[in-house]
Amino acid sequence: MGGKITYFFLATVLVLVFGVVALEGVLLLLTGEPAAMGMGAVAFALPCIGAWFLRHNTRFARDAQRLAHALEAEGGLPADELKRTPGGRIDRDAADAVFARRQAETEDAPGDWRTWFRLAVAYHDARDTPRARKAMQRAIALHDGKAVPTAT
């Protein structure tokens, strides 16, 4: 729950910053000076790009959480069986062993969103964030019956 509150707080602050920057961009556009108008156009465009990025990532996190709840309800969430260092970090060899099992499960059932969800968790534990995100996107698409993204 604390993570959701922090995310909401930071997203709200970010939206407020976007608003201030966009307002400054509009004010610069209204000056009529070419250099200021150029800076104003950029200052107005950046919050628009940032808002799109924030929306996209918020939707991804919400969809991943929805799948986690569905998998939890089925009793299929992967157990945390990883060894940790004294500092709390996941042991790399343990993460690699779990990853190999999850990858084999996914190869055996490539159309099952559950195996892709667990593979995404294994990628994340192995500190491979780009592949974790792609695997989670595939799990979401399979769960929702949408077109499945290509290669992971």
pLDDT in tens, 40-75: 999 989 999 999 999 999 999 999 999 999 999 998
Per-residue confidence (pLDDT) for residue 141, from 0 to 100: 94
Token pair of 79, please?
A: 């157990």
Is 66 within the bounds of a domain?
yes
Is 128 within the bounds of a domain?
yes
Q: What is the DSSP string of 98-116?
A: HHHHHHHHHHH-TT-HHHH
Is 51 within the bounds of a domain?
yes
Is 83 within the bounds of a domain?
no
pLDDT tens digit sequence for 15-25: 999 999 999 99
CATH of the domain at 100: 1.25.40.10
Q: Which residue has the higher pLDDT, 8 or 79?
A: 8
As a whole number of angstroms, the distance between CA 134 and CA 120 comes to 8
Is 111 within the bounds of a domain?
yes
Per-residue confidence (pLDDT) for residue 33, from 0 to 100: 94
Same domain, 20 and 60: yes
Residue 83 has pLDDT above 90, yes or no: no
Residues spanned by the domain of 116: 92-144
Number of domains composing the chain? 2
Question: Across the chain, what does the average pLDDT equal?
Answer: 89
Beta strands in 13-151 (DSSP E): none
Per-residue confidence (pLDDT) for residue 77, from 0 to 100: 81
Same domain, 117 and 53: no
Last residue of a domain, one of 74, 100, 127: 74
Per-residue confidence (pLDDT) for residue 1, from 0 to 100: 66
Residue 90 has pLDDT above 90, yes or no: no
Same domain, 62 and 32: yes
* 116 close to 139: Cβ distance less than 8 angstroms: yes
Same domain, 53 and 7: yes
As a whole number of angstroms, the distance between CA 18 and CA 20 comes to 6
Burial of 103 from C-beta contacts in 10 A (0-12 / 13-18 / 19+): middle
Question: Residue 4 — left, alpha, or beta (φ > 0 → left; ψ -120 to 50 → alpha)?
Answer: alpha
Residue 150 has pLDDT above 70, yes or no: no
